């Protein structure tokens, strides 16, 4: 409550002092233009409104109860607001300092100082909410970020003829970005990256499940942003009155503005941040990169690498030969086995339905020393003893980024070769990308995708159409379905699958992307009979327990679904896997696993589990839940191989690649002996024959993937971004999600 009280006091003080300052000025200035500036009054009002908002937000319990940060923030905001309200008076004082014999020989010097101070405050407003310890940042990176921000503020200031509003809007935007970065890190343990800009609709769609509580550092950041705006407003004191303006002054202002903004543009486009400046994003710990190097430098280096780099010495003909060689190795090896022949004959005759379930945030957190709470993981899932295969699944997403796991499974491509912060569904043109939906469609299957949320999320409605799905069932198709915490339950999606099977006797490929377990986990909306009570080192954590309760529900729903399929009079294959872990296990990983190599330590966060199960005896398979650890890009081809489905040359190449590189994701890759290497490891880092083979296979697969994903003469970037779903068919109504 102290924060709310201080905020209201600060707001009242800003208004009262502002009125007092203007009245005093009115009594001493006959020239009304000298005592009245609309922009100053507007920005003073905006800052006072922010103070009022903080008071209301704090009263609702959404601001950390920290008196010091509240006091500092209100002092800074009040000082900033009063400076804006009293701009004419302060401008007169600054003008006096630039007069003959004053402290500054020219008004522009005072303006430059104000802009320099504004840049420093805006930088703090961006960084402090999420990056609390700036002493940990590389000094040159902090300097680079400061220079970029200050140059941008100055560029806008001079481009618009020393008007303060454009630069003030930028400073406010940077402050809002700093708060957004704080919340994204809080909810996902990941920074905002370039690919996120293509998925703003998705972010908005799932934002309601979180609690937005401002921390003490958020208050410090807001205060700094307010101070930045005040300095920008004061910088406008040097703008001459209309009668004193000249064409020469206009030209000089334009020149300075263009030079500042043009310099920034040239800097971020012509200089390779990664190779020249050494600003690199560690894919296994991107958050650490953003903390150490600053938000803007890290974001820029990510943006520069969003276009997939062509493999070194890449040639189309050589990549084609590699693909052919890897496919032939499969045909002569595993493809020629009796087991494969039996499974193929059975699949061709039976044409079983294939159900792929990508379960939201499904993972077994018992790998973290049972959470020091006796947690054993999802009971039924771990007890399945008659699966075709099961094991650890290494993914390229952590805490969020569901669509990247989806992309890897459906296409067989690995995010390891696409750089950090990239979301192919939102970024690339995937119209010619091989995928499971098109593959099953070519086999005569009916193909259906379902996701009980908005079809625009992650640009799915466009991507699924491009992939060849016959239908896409979205939230509109789940009206009246059971919900848990406001999310459609896993069980409801399974009921929809059973309904599809009942309505259509033809073979089907169904891809179910569930929603039940989506973060955040502090909703408090779980019924009492579904809650868990695990004590981590004796302490109850409501967030963790809500997540674990959801996994229990997923486990129960899966058990019920499997039992229903056992009794179904048609052959069905189920591929069930989690897309990523929740956002909080990194704290346990760092606290409880301190004596291990970096790759093993990192990969613990980037793994879930999978199972391939069939309700019939798959020919050539013992069906005893053989443990096969793999990665998401291999999972589709592994399933197709085990059940006898036809394979593309690309899938054959992937299966061959698995013999020497058993898994790969954005964090690293694993050799045939189970040893993990970090992304970028070379043959020098691989001290064994198996390691050398894995490094070579990784490089070969990068060329093959580039060939299949990008080397087809079409544009790299997607033609169907969110909001443009129907540009290829003008007869479809906006928002339509039925694909055919």
In whole angstroms, give the CA distance from residue 472 to residue 456.
11
Q: Which residues, 6+ apart, have CB-to-CB distance to 249 below 8 Å?
A: 240
From its phi and psi, is residue 361 left (phi > 0), alpha (psi between -120 and 50) or beta? left
Answer whether residue 723 shows pLDDT above 60. Answer: no
**Of 88-102, 437-451, 473-487, where does mean pLDDT reach its minimum?**
88-102
3-state secondary structure of 477: helix
Asked if the bond preceding 520 is cis, omega within 30° of 0, the reply is yes
pLDDT of residue 206: 67
Contact present, 378 and 517 (Cβ < 8 Å): no
**Mean of the pLDDT values across residues 83-92?**
80
Which tens digit of pLDDT belongs to each residue from 486-532? Answer: 999 999 999 999 999 999 999 999 999 999 999 989 999 999 999 99
Q: Report phi then psi at 26, rounded to 5.
A: -65, -30
What's the CATH fold of domain 326-709?
Answer: Alkaline Phosphatase, subunit A (3.40.720)
Q: Report residue 82 as tokens.
A: 């009063």
Q: Is 388 in contact with 618 (CB distance < 8 Å)? A: yes
Residue 551: strand, helix, or coil: helix
156-185 per-position pLDDT tens digit: 999 999 999 999 999 999 999 999 999 988
33 has a pLDDT exceeding 70: no
Q: Residue 597 is encoded by which pair of tokens?
A: 């190599």
Model pLDDT, residue 307? 76
Q: Are 532 and 378 in contact (CB under 8 A)?
A: no
Q: What proportion of the chain, given as a percentage, has pLDDT over 70? A: 90
Instruction: Give the residue with greater pLDDT, 275 vs 433.
Output: 433
CB 565 within 8 A of CB 572: yes
Please provide the DSSP assignment of 72-121 as one string.
Answer: HHHHHHHHHHHHHHTHHHHHHHHHHHTSTTSS-SSHHHHHHHHHHHHHHH
What's the CA gap between 592 and 309, in Å, rounded? Answer: 37
Distance (Å, whole) CA 438 – CA 456: 21
Q: What is the structure's pLDDT at 28?
A: 61
Q: Which two tokens stand for residue 694?
A: 């894995």
Instruction: Name the strand (E) or helix (H) holding 624.
Output: none
pLDDT band at 41 (very low <50, low <70, confident <90, very high): confident
Please state, in angstroms and as integers, the Cα–Cα distance from residue 574 to each residue in 216, 347, 740, following that order: 48, 14, 25
Domain ranges in the chain are 2-199+209-304, 326-709
Q: Are 317 and 161 in contact (CB under 8 A)?
A: no
Give, in order, the Cα–Cα distances in Å from 2 to each of 28, 154, 226. 39, 38, 21
Q: Residue 728's pLDDT is what?
A: 38
pLDDT at 550 over 70: yes
What is the per-residue pLDDT for 640? 98
Between the CA of residue 60 and those of 55, 208, 215, 219, 401, what are the distances in Å?
A: 9, 17, 14, 16, 31
Q: Which two tokens stand for residue 665?
A: 């994701």
pLDDT at 718 over 70: no
502 vs 246 pLDDT, higher one: 502
Q: Which of 293, 92, 249, 257 is nearest to 160 (CA)?
A: 257
Question: Alpha-carbon distance 286 to 277, whole Å?
Answer: 17
Among the residue ranges 233-242, 304-313, 315-324, 374-383, the one predicted with the least confidence is: 233-242
How far apart CA 279 and CA 20 sit, in angstroms, is: 50
Q: Is the pLDDT of residue 719 over 70?
A: no
User: Tokens for 440?
Assistant: 């099953």
- Distance from CA of residue 342 to its chain's centroid? 43
Q: How far separated are the first and last CA of the chain, in Å rounded?
A: 56
DSSP lists the bridge partners of residue 389 as: 612, 626
Q: pLDDT tens across 254-263, in order? A: 999 999 999 9
pLDDT of residue 714: 64
Mean pLDDT of 121-137: 94
The b-or-e profile of 667-688 (16+ CB within 10 A means b, else e) is bbbbbbeebbbbbebeeeebee
Sign for the CA dihedral angle at 336, 342, 348, 354 comes to negative
Residue 37: what pLDDT? 63
Q: At what angle do helices 67-85 and 87-97 cross, to 10 degrees?
A: 70
Catalogue the E-assigned strands of 407-507: 446-450, 471-473, 483-484, 487-488
31 CB contacts (<8 Å, ≥6 apart)? none
Residue 576: which H helix or E strand, with range? strand 572-578
- Average pLDDT (639-659) is 97
Q: How many CA atoms lie within 13 A of 243 on its CB side?
A: 1
């Amino acid at each position: 409550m102290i924060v709310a009280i201080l905020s209201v006091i600060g707001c009242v003080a800003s208004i009262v002092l502002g009125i007092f300052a203007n009245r005093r000025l009115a009594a001493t200035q006959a020239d009304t233009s000298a005592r009245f500036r609309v922009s100053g009054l507007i920005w003073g009002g905006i800052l006072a409104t922010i103070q009022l908002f903080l008071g209301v937000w704090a009263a609702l319990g959404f601001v950390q109860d920290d008196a010091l940060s509240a006091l500092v923030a209100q002092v800074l905001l009040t000082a900033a607001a009063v400076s804006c309200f009293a701009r004419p008076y302060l401008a007169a004082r600054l003008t006096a300092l630039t007069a003959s014999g004053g402290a500054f020989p020219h008004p522009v010097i005072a303006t430059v100082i104000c802009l320099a101070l504004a840049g420093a405050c805006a930088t703090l407003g961006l960084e402090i909410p999420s990056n609390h310890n700036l002493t940990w940042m590389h000094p040159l990176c902090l300097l680079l970020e400061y220079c970029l921000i200050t140059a941008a503020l100055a560029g806008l200031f001079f481009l618009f003829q020393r008007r303060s509003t454009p630069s003030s809007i930028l400073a406010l935007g940077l402050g809002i970005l700093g708060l957004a970065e704080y919340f994204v890190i809080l909810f996902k343990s990941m920074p905002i990256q370039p690919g996120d800009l293509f998925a703003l609709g998705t972010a908005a769609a799932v934002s309601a499940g979180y609690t937005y509580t401002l921390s003490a550092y958020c208050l410090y950041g807001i205060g700094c942003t307010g101070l930045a705006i005040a300095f920008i407003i004061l910088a406008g004191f040097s703008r001459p009155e209309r009668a004193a303006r000249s064409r020469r002054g206009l030209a000089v202002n334009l020149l300075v503005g263009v030079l500042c903004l043009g310099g920034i543009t040239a800097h971020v486009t012509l200089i390779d941040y990664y190779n020249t400046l050494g600003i690199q994003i560690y894919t296994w710990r991107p958050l650490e990169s953003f903390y150490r190097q600053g938000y803007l430098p890290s974001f820029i280096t990510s943006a520069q690498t969003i276009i997939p780099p062509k493999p070194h010495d890449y040639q189309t003909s050589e990549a084609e030969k590699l693909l052919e060689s890897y496919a032939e190795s499969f045909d002569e090896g595993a493809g020629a086995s009796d087991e494969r022949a039996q499974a193929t004959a059975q699949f061709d005759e039976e044409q079983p339905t294939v159900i792929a379930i990508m379960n939201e945030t499904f993972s077994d957190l018992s790998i973290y020393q049972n959470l020091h709470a006796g947690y054993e993981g999802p009971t039924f899932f771990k007890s399945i003893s008659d699966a075709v295969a099961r094991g650890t699944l290494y993914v390229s997403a952590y805490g969020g980024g569901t669509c990247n796991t989806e992309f890897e499974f459906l296409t067989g491509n690995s995010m390891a070769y696409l750089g950090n912060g990239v979301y192919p569904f939102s970024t690339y043109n995937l119209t010619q990308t091989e995928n499971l939906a098109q593959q099953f469609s070519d086999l005569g299957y009916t193909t259906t995708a379902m996701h009980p949320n908005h079809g625009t999320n992650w640009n799915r409605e466009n991507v699924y159409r491009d992939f060849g799905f016959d239908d896409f069932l979205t939230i509109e198709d789940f009206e009246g379905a059971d919900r848990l915490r406001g999310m459609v339950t896993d069980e409801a999606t399974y009921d929809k699958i059973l309904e599809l099977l009942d309505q259509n006797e033809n073979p089907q490929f169904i891809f179910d992307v569930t929603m039940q377990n989506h973060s955040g986990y502090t909703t408090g909306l779980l019924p009492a009979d579904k809650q868990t009570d695990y004590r981590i080192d004796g302490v109850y954590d409501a967030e963790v327990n809500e997540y674990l309760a959801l996994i229990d529900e997923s486990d129960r729903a899966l058990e019920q679904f499997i039992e229903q399929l056992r009794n179904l009079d048609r052959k069905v294959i189920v591929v069930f896997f989690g897309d990523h872990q929740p956002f909080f296990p990194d704290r346990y990983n760092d606290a409880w696993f301190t004596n291990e190599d970096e790759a093993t330590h990192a990969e613990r966060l980037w793994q879930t589990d999978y199972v391939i199960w069939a309700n019939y005896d798959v020919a050539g398979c013992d069906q005893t839940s053989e443990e096969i650890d793999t990665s998401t890009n291999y999972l589709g081809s592994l399933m197709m191989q085990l059940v006898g489905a036809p394979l593309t040359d690309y899938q054959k190449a992937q299966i061959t690649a698995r013999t020497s590189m058993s898994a790969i994701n954005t964090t690293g890759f694993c050799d045939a002996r189970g040893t993990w290497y970090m992304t970028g490891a070379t043959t020098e880092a691989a001290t064994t024959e198996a390691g050398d083979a894995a490094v070579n296979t990784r490089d070969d697969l990068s060329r093959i993937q580039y060939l299949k994903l990008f080397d087809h003469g079409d544009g790299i970037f997607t033609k169907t971004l969110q909001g443009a779903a129907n540009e290829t068919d003008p007869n479809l109504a906006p928002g339509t999600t039925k694909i055919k």
